[in-house]
Amino acid sequence: MTDILTGDFDYDLPEERIALFPAKERDGSRLLLYDGNTIASDIFKNIGNHISPRSLLVFNDTRVIRARLIFYKKSGARIEIFCLEPLDPPGYETSFSCSGPVEWKCIIGNLKKWKSGAVAMKFTSGGKEYDLKAEKAGEADEAWRIKFSWNCSGLSFGEVIEAAGHIPLPPYIGREDVKEDNDRYQTVYSAVKGSVAAPTAGLHFTEGVLESLSAKGINRVNVTLHVGAGTFQPVRSAGISAHTMHTEHFFVTIDTISRLIENEGNVIAVGTTSVRTIESIYWLGVRVIENPETNIDGMKVGQWEPYDRPLEISPEKALKALYGAMKKKGIRIIGASTQIIIVPGYRFRITNGIITNFHQPRSTLLLLIAAWTGKAWKDIYKYALDNGFRFLSYGDSSFLYRSRNNY
């Protein structure tokens, strides 16, 4: 990994190529196709024509929360609080359902203007006005613990931020959220609240596209990975070995693992978050094989763990080990976290194809694409730039596929 230089994964992205708004129709986005040899293009609504029947698509069903809370001090100073993850009570579902004070790990915008005391705002829910108060409760790594409280025990924190918060558009979009973003910055299949950024590969899917895929015999399963703000963190170090990858939490059911086993060799990940999840599932299975008595709930995949293990275990064996451990302990859904970084040199174990948008220069997401396509990522991105494709979260899509790995 010490040989991987960040500068080798840079390219010129003109500002006018960054999509500030979504395409008029979700499935009207353009679709770049790369089969390991040739590059072509189509419209996203036709994606089913390019996916083999009996393939299994893996979707990330996380739902974006209205994580940006904007307060104003009496002086007029704007204080923006960006909610990252729950601390007290821990767990997204528990925090969102809580009707009393909660603490979250947050990033504070304009921190120098907020030296002490609480900040407050008024918000409306159900036609009534309430007060939301935020107080600093100490530092948390490179962020802050923020205690939120509100003057209505009948409202859960999930309802509070839904009424008071803003859609957390990526920083490179550079505009305030508008009504259209409430719908278009969510996938049509989003279900589990917790992300502060959308799994954007899924933004192109419509109910019509999903129905057409089913009609062609293309199957689907869901995983849940809550996308963190770290997904936008650039790689600032000259070499990738010095970069610290962000951690994200994910959940997967025993039924999904069973489907992955049944469809080994035909698994297509919708988005880099789905790639990270299913590849991390493999490493959880490896952990179980190495130590059958390990506590499987709450495990974490380390950043460089896949590169530090000389032992090679087949995907089927790893997945069956995790499935067996869950079944033995009566666990229907496993919660874990991953810090895995996928860079050139990584060998994909579960992934056989990737549907994804076009990513920022010098980003870990681009490194993941380069790990999949090899040096062809440069040709793919040049083709996209030369042929008018729109980039980043609200931009166009690509389907990158090749024959399965041999084990």
What was the pLDDT predicted at 407?
A: 26
Cβ proximity of 59 and 201 under 8 Å: no
What was the pLDDT predicted at 406?
A: 31
Residue 378 within any structural domain of the chain: yes
DSSP 312-346: ---HHHHHHHHHHHHHHHT-SEEEEEE-----TT-
- Mean pLDDT, the chain, rounded, equals 94
Give the pLDDT confidence of 277-333 residue by residue, as tens digits.
999 999 999 999 999 999 998 999 999 999 987 678 999 999 999 999 999 999 999
What angle separates helix 364-373 from helix 377-386, to the nearest 10 degrees? Answer: 110
Residue 19 within any structural domain of the chain: yes
Give the pLDDT confidence of 130-182 residue by residue, as tens digits.
999 999 999 988 899 999 999 998 999 999 999 999 999 998 998 999 999 99
Average of per-residue pLDDT across 196-216 = 97
Give the distance between the most distant pair of CA atoms in the chain: 64
- Find the domain containing 136 and state its range: 68-166
What was the pLDDT predicted at 229?
A: 81
Structure tokens at 295: 């506590």
Note whether 79 and 56 are same-domain residues: no
Identify the CATH number of the domain in which residue 222 sits: 3.40.1780.10
Note whether 111 and 51 are same-domain residues: no
Alpha helix (H) residue ranges in 56-153: 92-97
Note whether 149 and 27 are same-domain residues: no
The count of structural domains within the chain is: 2
What was the pLDDT predicted at 235?
A: 87
d(CA 42, CA 29): 9
Note whether 107 and 39 are same-domain residues: no
Average of per-residue pLDDT across 206-214 = 98
- 317 burial type by CB count under 10 A (0-12 exposed, 13-18 middle, 19+ buried): middle
Note whether 86 and 57 are same-domain residues: no
- Strand pairing report for 119-125 and 128-140: antiparallel
Note whether 344 and 239 are same-domain residues: yes
User: In the listed set 166, 197, 217, which residue is the last one of a domain according to the structure?
Assistant: 166
**What is residue 350's three-state secondary structure?**
coil
Question: What is the pTM for the complete model shown?
Answer: 0.93
Residue 177 within any structural domain of the chain: no
Average of per-residue pLDDT across 232-261 = 92
What was the pLDDT predicted at 1?
A: 57
Give the pLDDT confidence of 391-403 residue by residue, as tens digits.
999 999 999 997 4
